[in-house]
Chain A
Amino acid sequence: MIETVVFDALRAAIGPTAAAYALLAIGLNIHFGYTGLLNFGQVGFMLVGGYGLAIPVAVYGQPLWVGLLSGLAAAVVLALLLGAPTLRLRADYLAITTIAAAEILRFLSRNSTSEDVTGGVYGLRQFAGEFYAVSPFPGDRYLGALAFSGNRMWAMTVGWGVAVLLSIAVHRLMRSPWGRVLRSIREDEDAARSLGKNVFLYKMQSLILGGVLGGIGGMVFVLSLQTIQPDMFLPQVTFFAFTMVILGGTATAVGPLAGTVLFWFLITGLQSGVRTVVESGVIPGVSAGQAVGATTLIVVGALLMALMVFRPQGILGDREELRLDVR
Chain B
Amino acid sequence: MSADAHVPAGSGRTIGPLAGVAREPGVAKPDPVLVVDGLRRSFGGVTAVDVAHLEIQRGLITGLIGPNGAGKTTLFNLLTGFDTPDAGTWSFDGEPLGSTSAYAVARRGMVRTFQLTKALSRMTVLENLMLGGAGQAGERLSLALLAPAWRREEAALRERAEELLVRFKLDHMRDQFAGTLSGGQRKLLEMARALMVEPSLVMLDEPMAGVNPALTQSLLGHVKDLRDREGRTVVFVEHDMDVVFDISDWVVCLAEGRVIAEGPPESIGSDEAVIDAYLGASHGRDRPPRKRPPHERGTA
Interface residues of A (CB under 8 A from B): 169, 172-173, 176-181, 183-184, 186-188, 190-199, 205, 209, 320-321, 324-325, 327
Contact = CB atoms under 8 A, between A and B. Distances in A.
A194 B139 contact: no
B150 interface: yes
Among A177, A183, A192, A320, max chain B CB count under 10 A is at A177
Contact of B197 (A178, A195, A321): A195
Given A169-B145, A183-B120, A327-B121, A193 B102 contact: yes
Given A196-B106, A324-B180, A177 B138 contact: yes
B271 interface: no
Contacts of B281: none
Contacts of A193: 81-82, 101-103, 106
B217 to A, nearest CB: 26
Contact of B121 (A173, A194, A209, A325): A325
B139 A184 contact: no
Contacts of A178: 138-141, 143-144
Contact of A180 (B101, B106, B127): B127
A187 B154 contact: no
Which of B131, B147, B180 has the most C-beta atoms of chain A within 10 angstroms of its own C-beta?
B131
A327 B182 CA distance: 11
24 contacts: A172-B145, A176-B138, A176-B145, A177-B130, A180-B123, A180-B130, A181-B139, A183-B120, A183-B122, A183-B127, A187-B120, A193-B102, A193-B103, A194-B80, A194-B102, A194-B106, A194-B112, A195-B132, A195-B196, A196-B106, A199-B103, A205-B141, A325-B179, A327-B179
Contact of B179 (A179, A186, A198, A324): A324
Q: Is the interface of A mostly helix, strand, loop or mixed?
A: helix
Interface size band for B: 35 or more
Contacts, number: 113
Interface string B138-162: 1111011101001000100000000
A205 B137 CA distance: 16
B121 A196 contact: no
A181 B122 CA distance: 13
Contacts of A183: 120, 122-123, 127
Nearest to A327: B179
Contacts of A172: 144-145, 147
A209 to B, nearest CB: 8
B145 A188 contact: no
Contacts of A177: 130, 133, 136-139, 144, 150, 154
B114 interface: yes
Which 5 A-B pairs have CB atoms at the shortest separation, nearest pair first? A324-B179, A177-B138, A178-B144, A196-B106, A187-B120
A325 B122 contact: yes
Given A176-B144, A178-B138, A180-B130, A187 B194 contact: no
Among B106, B112, B120, B197, the one with the most A-chain Cβ atoms within 10 Å of its Cβ is: B120
A198 B144 contact: no
A320 B130 contact: no
B222 interface: no
B290 interface: no
Given A176-B144, A179-B144, A195-B132, A190 B122 contact: no
Contact of A181 (B113, B131, B143, B193): B131
Most buried by B among A181, A187, A192: A187
A180 B129 CA distance: 11
A138 B184 CA distance: 68
Nearest to A185: B120
A176 B147 contact: yes
A188 B177 contact: no
Nearest to A192: B131
A144 to B, nearest CB: 38
A95 B132 CA distance: 30
Contacts of A180: 123, 127, 130-131, 139
Contacts of A186: 122
A190 B138 contact: no
Given A196-B103, A196-B106, A188 B139 contact: no
A187 B102 contact: no
A209 B147 CA distance: 19
A188 B145 CA distance: 24
Which of B102, B104, B137 has the most chain A CB within a 10 Å cutoff? B102
A191 B118 contact: yes
Given A173-B144, A324-B179, A324-B180, A194 B131 contact: no
